[in-house]
Chain A
Amino acid sequence: MSLRRFILKRLLSIIPILFGVSVITFSLVHLTPGDPIAQMVAMNPNVTAAEEAQLRARYGLDGPIWEQYLTWMGNVLTGDFGEVIGSGRDVSEVVMTRLPETIALGLFGWAFGLVIAIPTGIYAAINKDEFADTASRFLALSGISIPNFWLGLMLILIGALWIGLWPVLPPSRHALYHPEMLWYLVLPGITIGTAAAASIMRVMRTSMAEEMNKEYVTAARAKGLPERTVVLKHVLRNSLISVVTLAATLTASIVAGSVVVEVVFNWPGLGREFITAIDEREINLIMAITLFTGVFIIIANLLADILYAVLDPRIRYD
């Protein structure tokens, strides 16, 4: 199968998954007891049953569930996610203002992971079973095992309260692209990137060590290439392929991590908004963020698969 056909087939295969994701999102949220209308009514005993029905009709919460699903899906396909019932704001507007904050956090986390993990992974693989390797393995294991919310709290405790390098919370929030914000991004960014760094480190070490035993490495050494060239030019390239296979999983973990980390650092991103939405039963917002997450991860998986196929022509597409 050619690469183009592989990509096409892979693209087609996500259609039923997208459908499934929308069904799961919708049905989970609609199983939740107590929609915002019920809460409004409970707070205000003067509302009559007729008025309640009217409210429900206005927000499309009446009618059988499949009809609600079709209406919602139709609206979503035209880019209309409804409005936040509590504040009357447009859901897509809320998502769009929160999204850049989360993306900045995620990118910082990814960058931190790569910058830390790749050199360490290379170093550990070259010095396999020496002290540096053992130490880095231990660090990687700790990085995977540490709960991200606790890491965040510890960084606040150490970085903000004991050393005092950062204010506990940014004093006045500038726009996200303000250069000063980069400084406030450090602690949450490290928190979210640590697990990624640890995973990449482990994978890099294993795959580098594996590649080092292959014949092409012996051949490269035999023809007199300096060890530096052998490692950085030949071995590293092949080992990075295994990092690509990890990319989609890591992106998913960063997305999930952002929910917790944003709460720890009071970061005004999509994750914190999600928790608020759950607390306040804002079903339109919950559905929009859940659907967005699902679609984002499906696309990340798709891209990782395609990238993998492009990078490693040896794999068979079937």
Chain B
Amino acid sequence: MSLKVDIRKNLGGFRLDVKLEAESGVTCLLGASGCGKSMTLKCIAGIEKPDEGRIELDGRALFDSEKGINLPPRERHVGYLFQNYALFPNMTVRQNILCGLNREKDRSVREARLRTMLHMLQLEGLEKHKPHQLSGGQQQRVALARILVSDPQLLLLDEPFSALDGHLRDALKIELRDLLQRYGREVLMVTHDRTEAYNMSSRIAVLHEGRLLKMKPTKALFADPGSVPAAILTGCKNIAAARRIDEHTVEVPEWGVRLETKQRVQEGLCAVGVRAHYFNASAQQNRFPVRFVEEMEEPFETTLQFRFAGQTPDSPAIWWRLAKDRRPAEFPQELGVAPANILLLYE
């Protein structure tokens, strides 16, 4: 099982340039809206045509601009779960799923596979319903059933949870993750939501303005994003330009501080990031005097904004987030951050 993508396409405003190799398991493309995520999936599915490059699935060329290969979508055996699920509104659940079985000529085999899929996705009893009679979660399951029943070699998920309400989303994430694990096929998913990416995938590639940054295992990416776009997409709130001083020291002029780092600082460092959760009133290292600015409360967490004593006036305030029950009664005079929690960003 392997997918190799190396394509380029001009998209008016910017150039899509994606080089990607994925093996079995769930790979995620994480990017802001309009960065070319969906376009990449569409190129792989054959709905859009790249200007040049090559797409290969399990050794089979789906697209090759040099050899003039461009298989139509129906010959690619790539399943595509659309953001809005794209269920056929005039057909029942049963008819929708049977559309995925159009290659199977034997009627009894078709019926048996339909039964298995209805059972697997808990859709029994809904066969005669039309899509508009189903809940968002049921619609997603029908769309998945319709795709999985066609036995695709690769499954593409385009923002699979964006059409769902918040409370449904968490339940469905668990459901879909378990299903994909049982299914055991290669899955490529795109999302702009870092939590979704973290929940669902084992590897993440960050897509920034049409360009794919290095792919990393999910936890490694969150621990060390390595670049400014990746740090932003993984939710890092405090990012500032920085300069290397020595192997374990960086200077951040905007914040008026020098920070000690655990990771070795390479040449070419351009910025540092500190996640809002990583400040600590009792940390002794990288400890500096701070001044409270304002607070924004959420149901269970709170964001306290502060400035370093030596911070330049035009730079944005720093965010400190913590659980409400751990909020100190009085804002501390000084805050520290562990050297291991300084993210070194290189581009």
Partners in one complex: no
Residues of A within 8 A of B (CB): none
Residues of B within 8 A of A (CB): none
